[in-house]
Structure 1
Amino acid sequence: MVFAMMEDKWNFDEWAQSYDEDVKQENWIHKDYKKVLKLVAEKAKGIVVDIGCGTGNILRVIKCEQYIGVEPSGEMRRVFKEKWGFEPVNGHFLDILLPAETADTVITTYAFHHVPDGEKENAIKEMLRVLKHDGKIVIGDVMFESEEEKRRIGEEDGIAGEIEDEYFATVEHLREICERLGLEFTFEQINRYVWIAEMKRTTR
């Protein structure tokens, strides 16, 4: 139900037609888009599951044993197949339709901000479910250090309304989730808006 509501809100099917052009605009939300995809791809290995894969742009830079895209939008999946010759799995963050322990790496770029804050922990649990025990999660997306920082940047940059329309994570909140789930984690800030988070089960 949550993701059906999300599709209604953002109309992913309609967006599929212009998505590849939109991300080239290098606006604030897609600043350093190609760089972020490359950095995430470099962190991925083995069997990679990509949640919210869209039209599959990361396939231009990723090198892995096997790539499995997961995408809830039928039109995004259609465009993906036209570009790459195979179709992603129909699924989303809260229901990844793959067996447990499928992936060595679970990745997501510019998609986690569509998950409501109250569901982010469940989304991470579902990513952990399809992840092998020694695997890792890599999230590249717009994030902010805290809610206070999110408000400050929104006001300073004149994008408060755009920020409020999405569910951008805070590093503070994700740290709390990782600590509750007993995960090791790192956060790397790429620019004013985009961070890359890595999470894995503790080896201690």
Structure 2
Amino acid sequence: MGTDFNQLFDEWSSTYDETVAGNDPEYNEVFRGYDQILNEVALKAFGNVIEFGVGTGNLTEKLVSYEKNVYGFEPSDGMRKIAKEKLPYVNLEKGDFLQFQPPFQSVDSIVSTYAFHHLTDEEKTIAIKKYNELLADGGKIIFADTVFVDEQAKVAMIQDAKNKGFHRLANDLSTEFYTTIPFFQELFRSLGFTSAFTQMNDFVWLIEATKQ
């Protein structure tokens, strides 16, 4: 991913929390149940936790409230600035899914919400292989993100967005790197993880993979 999306997120940082609160009709369904989704991820995390794509710190805040030992990475200066203002006592550093300095000798949980789709499938594979090396046995990857049951479902969702006049959403779904559940299942299986997928709304799935 590198810094490809940094300018976009720097610009979005000032209104991001308004978007996730449901103030943008095009993205209401994407963020439906946002608080519950963050809670699910935060509650499943344990031990030493790395969070990628901190954004404005909403998941981080949940993790802290549940007394998790979290260290966060966020590539966008604008997003990271807001997160640090909210959570000045939390370790939040510049970094992303692929470029970061591991903060713990042993990592138990790797978490992220609404961010892993910014990586291509090739980059996702590189990232998961890296996390496999970092995680202790029994460690978990816990992500919540937009994925699809198959490519046909993705095409149908893009067409549905166009039919509703949601052109920004349709463009996002067409141009960003949203992938499928079978892709994740095979990737995790090949690395010895067990995985489970729970649908949270029409777009977002809770992805939980445990290292065996």
Which TM-score applies when normalising by structure 2? Answer: 0.86
Identify the residue that residue 166 of structure 1 maps to in structure 2: 176
Report the AA paired with residue 77 of structure 2.
G
Report the AA paired with residue 16 of structure 2.
Y
CA contact (8 A) 1:13 1:73 kept: yes
| Higher relative contact order, chain-length normalized (CA < 8 Å, sep 6+) | 2
Query: Which of 112, 116, 119 pairs up with 1:112?
Result: 116
Query: Which of 71, 75, 78 pairs up with 1:75?
Result: 78
Per-residue CA distance 1:58-114 (angstroms, 9 max, x = gap):
234331341111111122111111111145121111123115643211100011111
SS of the residue 2:55 aligns to: coil
Identify the residue that residue 5 of structure 1 maps to in structure 2: 4
Identify the residue that residue 50 of structure 2 maps to in structure 1: 49
Q: Per-residue deviation at 1:183?
A: 1.2
Per-residue CA distance 1:106-141 (angstroms, 9 max, x = gap):
100011111112211111122333322321000101
Distance in 1, Cα, partners of 2:52 & 2:154: 24
Unaligned runs of 5+ in 1: none
Distance in 2, Cα, partners of 1:81 & 1:61: 14
1:184 aligned onto 2:194? yes
Q: How does 1:1-204 map to 2 (within 5 A)?
A: 2-8=1-7, 11-25=8-22, 27-62=28-63, 63-86=66-89, 87-99=91-103, 101-158=105-162, 159-202=169-212
Report the AA paired with residue 64 of structure 1.
E
**What is the RMSD of the two structures over their aligned residues, measured on CA atoms?**
1.8
Deviating more after overlay: 18-27 vs 66-75: 18-27
Deviating more after overlay: 36-45 vs 124-133: 124-133
CA contact (8 A) 2:30 2:201 kept: no
Identify if the C-alpha distance between structure 1 residues 42 and 65 changes in structure 2 by more than 3 Å, giving closer, same or farther: closer
Distance in 1, Cα, partners of 2:93 & 2:161: 37
Deviating more after overlay: 17-26 vs 68-77: 17-26
Distance in 1, Cα, partners of 2:95 & 2:14: 20
Q: Per-residue deviation at 1:7?
A: 2.4
Per-residue CA distance 1:4-60 (angstroms, 9 max, x = gap):
22325xx22122121111211262322221111011111111221111111111234
CA contact (8 A) 1:185 1:198 kept: yes
